[in-house]
A and B are shown apart, each in its own frame.
Chain A
Amino acid sequence: MASATLHSPASAAELAAALAEAGTSVRVRGAGTKLAWAGDAAPGLELSTERLDRVIEHNAGDLTAVLEAGVPLARAQELFAEAGQMLALDPPDRGGATIGGLVATADSGPLRTRYGGVRDLVVGMRVALADGTVAKSGGKVIKNVAGYDLAKLFAGSFGRLGAILEISVRLHPLPPATATAAGRSNDPQRLGRGALALSHARLEQLGLDVHWEDGAGAILSRFGGAAARPQAEEAERLLRDAGLETELVDDDEEVWRAQREAQRSASGLVVKVSALQTELPELLDAAERHGATLVGRASLGLHWLRLDDGDPEPLLAQLRERWTAAVLDRPAGFEAEPRGQADSGARELERRVKERFDPEGRLV
């Protein structure tokens, strides 16, 4: 990648000014743990949010917080945990990932099943537009319909509409205890049945994941709360009825850490597929055929297929015949359109939005 000048402004105001004054293309970055996801853009200037690392507010009684974009997610979580709270976002973290980078890429982890994604937990945002204008939308209360919801527009925008400076989030109580029911099988159809049974069960799951690797798979159903174990037992029964080999895992942190980690590859390909609940067996077949691993959120239909070695092209091509598939991590030198196709009208609308927010097209 061509070397860009890297600048780390000391404050939000400085970052906004630097953006306005940059006479070249700009990329805003956090810790840089997901830089390749946006594609191969080679900006003239990189603006880092690393020094914007203040926790501006943690309103424990209101279950809200306001964070500067450069705050490492892990550090924020430690602070919230002291009050028995969490920001219910648990994406894979290679170390130092910032809240700003997480919001800009809209990454997510297993907790999305219960609490929603970045778009559902961000309640307000302050941004710097390409011309240096600093503007906010939303607020710091969890219910608010005043004005346009620009925070949703900026979440997952990869910084192409402006620089995210500050983020207001909704927090949740940390579950007092967790327990997980696991159901294993090497038959994609049975796993599909188990996943559907749990997606439709009258149980409140903290997570409902699927895992597939080397011809063997599992459905993982996690509960948190005052009565986590009896609920996990009920889930275990449903998985058994679907023909899976089951077990109960009380000490389940490791199981879920592995689910998160499997969403990243150090040197291979990771493709995120948007599918439907009922399509799980076909996705598992595709993963098996190409020697890929799969982790996913069964009830949401979101799956991450990972191929550490080998030619990524056939897997990607097969997935894109059927589904929307975004390329996240990729092997060096592998070129692919990162996002997959959208409705042509939606694309034109996106172009118009980009043009209004960044008329000179400087944010890449």
Chain B
Amino acid sequence: MGAGSAWGERPPPRTEAEAERESLDLGPLVQELRGAVGAEHVVTHEHQLRTYESDGLLQYAVTPGCVVLPRSAAEVQAVVRACHRAGVPFVARGAGSGLSGGALPVEDGVLISLSRMRSIVEVDLDNQRVVVEPGVTNIAVSQAVAPDHFYPPDPSSQIVCTIGGNVAENSGGAHCFKYGFTTNYVTGLELVLPDGELVQLGGKQLDAPGLDLLGAFVGSEGTLGVATKIWLRIVPKPETVRTLVAFFGSPVQAGEVVSEIVSAGIVPGAIEMMDNLSIRAAEGYTGAGFPTGAGAALVVELDGSEAECETRFEEVVAICERAGADSIRVAEDEAERELIWQARKAAFAAMGRIAPNYYVQDSVIPRTRLAEVLGRIDELGREYDLKVANVFHAGDGNLHPLVCYDGSNPGEAERAEECAGMIVKACVDAGGSITGEHGVGVDKKRYMPDMFSDADLGAFQRLRCAFDPEQRSNPGKVMPTPRLCGEVPGPYRRHPLEQAGLAERF
């Protein structure tokens, strides 16, 4: 989670006069919104608006023109239609726990909070589907289908984060190496498009006819419209879970173990690594009993049938021993498993014991480049004279380097940001990605050109323009520089076959 020092794009506090002027500008629209959702669900007071000025990445803060809290798809539709008519941009927001500034409001725009839309519409266990409104939390889905089923994507924020937000960000989690991401579990969406039209893509069944617009929408970070209903696939709970944590001299040594496990054909439910700095921070916070002198901790969790897990777990233990693990701790019961996971999940929060602030990245590398990239991160830490802790999803090469700094030292925050940017570049140079699960948002859009050419970005823009030609849905996110949509060049011409009714287009 981004730390709370005030730097970056936070604007100076506005005067009462300024606030007054803006509310006047939005005046007629605010009246309409009040009519649409009820006056008590439209927030316009400056001090209340401040609650919504940031998401989980506190470096960025913008006060929205107003906040509306619709209760239904019809109300969302009325709000978006009103924005469309007035030419006012809008931003949809779930729990606001995102880490890329993806739900950062637009000044003078409308923030649509979906927190009141939290009904579980249907639980169809027979067909292994759940239908929810966007404000339902991630954990609530697994709870609704327990004890025989679960919903696999499990971001660390799963207790608070919402399915609507997960859809926007294509959220992953510790178990996605084996189970996949949000996009692999969404079978249908009801959407309010940026012009206020309501459409349904897919449903309970797989493979709706035509283009996979569902696949294009999931992970589009709120720039293509607002999801108002979501169909999810759920799966049977594994028969058993086995968890261990092994300690090694260095992350590179632990990284070799990861490669050996994977090349042995084992697909762990989760495989997570922490370096020494993270271990020390987490141990101080949770007291899980991790040796604070260890260079790396590797958490390996296998799940599945008992017969399969038993055989494979012995293989994993043998691989760790052969690789010279300093010690191996096998969770003997659920409480011990919880403790190991607490230590891993607390790593971010515990970083406060190391430094007052930190800047987190979310880069991905091909796993085989781990040693080389960790070496480069070490170098960068020394070069910038900053501590960098590393926590990562080792199976899929998703690194979370935490660049530690003290925001009260002049210039240090900027230095940390620059160092973090260099780490991102090193990962892209190694054939990786700027973000594995947090999304681009506002925070990483400046790195997009490191990964994508102008032509690539142009292709992205075509999709954006098909959904949102006026670019009013979450503007200023994802794309590094604003681009216009323009008219579709040339008139749309019907193919003669299509005119004759013999063929169709999409």
Contacts and interface: CB of A to CB of B under 8 A. Distances in A.
Interface of A: 25, 39-42, 59-64, 84, 106, 116-117, 119-120, 127, 129, 133-137, 139-150, 152-153, 155-157, 160-161, 172-176, 196, 199-204, 225-227, 230-231, 234, 272, 274-278, 299-302, 323-324, 326, 335, 337, 339-343, 345-357, 359-361, 364
B30 interface: no
Contacts of A63: 262
B312 A133 contact: no
A353 B506 contact: yes
Contact of B460 (A137, A160, A301): A137
Contact of A227 (B238, B266, B308, B478): B308
A352 B460 CA distance: 14
Contact of A143 (B172, B205, B206, B312): B172
Interface residues of B, number: 105
A192 to B, nearest CB: 11
A174 to B, nearest CB: 7
B463 A145 contact: no
Given A147-B440, A204-B305, A355 B466 contact: yes
Contacts of B87: none
Interface stretch (B40-48, B374-382, B489-497): B489-497
Contacts of B12: none
B366 interface: yes
Interface of B: 126-129, 148, 169-170, 172, 176-177, 180-181, 183-184, 193, 197-201, 204-216, 218-220, 236-239, 259, 262-267, 304-305, 307-308, 310-312, 315, 364-368, 393, 396-398, 431-440, 444, 448, 451-453, 455-460, 462-467, 478, 488-490, 492-495, 497, 502-506
Given A119-B215, A274-B208, 9 more contacts: A59-B368, A62-B397, A144-B433, A155-B215, A324-B208, A345-B193, A346-B200, A349-B201, A354-B505
Contacts, number: 307
Given A135-B459, A353-B213, A141 B207 contact: no
Contact of B503 (A39, A64, A134, A144): A39
A323 B207 CA distance: 12
B300 to A, nearest CB: 16
B459 A150 contact: yes
Contacts of B184: 116, 120
Given A62-B366, A356-B488, A160 B210 contact: no
A60 B367 CA distance: 11
A42 B498 CA distance: 11
Contacts of A173: 262-267
Contacts of A348: 197, 199
A353 B466 contact: yes
